[in-house]
């Protein structure tokens, strides 16, 4: 049984058959956007929110063609249904298409969807928590790509590689004004005196789908939560810190650059929110229809 599938502009194929043009703008100029999502029981959790974010980014960045949400969703369903996996790592990448001269005034977008095995974080990381380093690079609000999931991702991967070399799992990015922004591949939350805080998206930081879900769940649970500008000292002095993205869900941070956070163990409020997140996933993905 083939467990991994690719869809390119609606054509379903196995990974070794997949090809894109040598003139594709994503390859030659890094002009593209992507979403990494997680499928549970054959359904991508909050897929439409991911796709709406991608389309909004394309519009904000001035793309000539804005990808259609329904078309992107069809390709997601196509690869998820084909893989027949209960759980999968799903990615959608959209570029502005070929740069090669053609009869088309506006090139057709390249829409690439994949569903693959793996990509899950080991259970022991949730039990013991992870550490972060503070990146030596800074988040620049004048960079037009900041706050968008662009395929030009090298700086994030470079900082993540440095974190791994230092024995950490994630890298904390500050702004050029030394405010806390986000992780290299995650959004950041702190807990202090029972209240939840996360940097506002106008810094700008990525408006994460998991981030928004956590804030929503906090409201349902009666946990005080707000967007707030944070300094590194706020992170270091927090009772709990955790990071979020679609694959990791919520992951406790127990240390930043050798500085222990709180008790040095995953905190109770983080666990409570993670349990609520799991319940939300089960509720929304229990009746998978593709």
Range(s) within the chain of domains with CATH label 3.20.10.10:
123-282
DSSP line for 73-92: HHHHHHHHHHH--SEEEEEE
Q: Is the pTM of this model over 0.85?
A: yes
Helical segments of the chain, H only: 25-29, 47-60, 69-83, 123-128, 154-165, 209-221, 232-236, 268-285
Fold of 123-282: D-amino Acid Aminotransferase; Chain A, domain 2 (3.20.10)
> Structure tokens of 141?
């609000």
Range(s) within the chain of domains with CATH label 3.30.470.10:
5-116
> Hunting for tokens 């807990």 — which residue is that?
191
pLDDT score for 106: 76
pLDDT score for 287: 62
> Structure tokens of 278?
């799991």
- Looking at the predicted structure, is the pLDDT value of residue 253 above 50? yes
Mean residue pLDDT of the chain comes to 95
Residue 95's nearest CA partner among 170, 9, 168 is 9
Spatial contact of 51 and 92, defined as CB atoms under 8 Å apart: yes
pLDDT score for 103: 55
pLDDT tens digit sequence for 80-92: 999 988 899 999 9
Separation between Cα atoms, residue 32 and residue 97, nearest integer Å: 9
pLDDT tens digit sequence for 15-50: 999 999 999 999 999 999 999 999 999 999 999 999
- Looking at the predicted structure, is the pLDDT value of residue 289 above 50? no
Distances (CA, A) of 40 to 37, 43, 229, 287: 10, 5, 33, 10
pLDDT band at 3 (very low <50, low <70, confident <90, very high): confident
Fold of 5-116: D-amino Acid Aminotransferase; Chain A, domain 1 (3.30.470)
């Amino acid at each position: 049984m083939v467990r991994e599938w690719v869809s390119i502009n609606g054509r379903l194929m196995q990974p070794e058959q997949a090809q894109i043009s040598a003139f594709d703008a994503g390859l030659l100029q890094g002009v593209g956007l992507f979403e990494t999502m997680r499928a549970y029981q054959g359904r991508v959790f909050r897929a439409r929110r991911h796709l709406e974010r991608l389309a909004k980014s394309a519009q904000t960045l001035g793309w000539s063609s804005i990808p259609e949400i329904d078309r992107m969703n069809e390709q997601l369903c196509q690869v998820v249904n084909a893989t027949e996996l209960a759980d999968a790592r799903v990615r959608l990448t959209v570029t502005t298409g070929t740069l090669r001269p053609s009869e088309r005034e506006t090139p057709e977008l390249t829409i690439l969807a994949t569903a693959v095995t793996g990509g899950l974080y080991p259970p022991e990381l949730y039990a013991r928590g992870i550490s972060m380093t503070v990146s030596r690079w800074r988040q620049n609000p004048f960079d037009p790509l900041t706050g968008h999931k662009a395929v030009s991702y090298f700086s994030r991967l470079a900082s993540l590689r440095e974190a791994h070399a230092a024995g950490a799992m994630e890298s904390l990015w500050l702004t050029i004004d030394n405010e806390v922004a986000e992780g290299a591949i995650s959004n950041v939350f702190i807990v202090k005196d029972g209240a939840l805080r996360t940097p506002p998206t106008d810094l700008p930081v990525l408006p994460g789908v998991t981030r928004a879900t956590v804030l929503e769940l906090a409201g349902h649970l009666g946990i005080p939560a707000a967007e707030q500008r944070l300094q590194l000292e706020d992170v270091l002095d927090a009772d709990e810190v955790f990071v979020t993205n679609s694959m990791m869900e919520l992951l406790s941070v127990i240390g930043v650059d050798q500085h222990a956070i709180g008790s040095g163990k995953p905190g109770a409020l983080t666990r409570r929110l993670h349990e609520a997140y799991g319940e939300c996933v089960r509720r929304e993905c229990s009746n998978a229809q593709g």
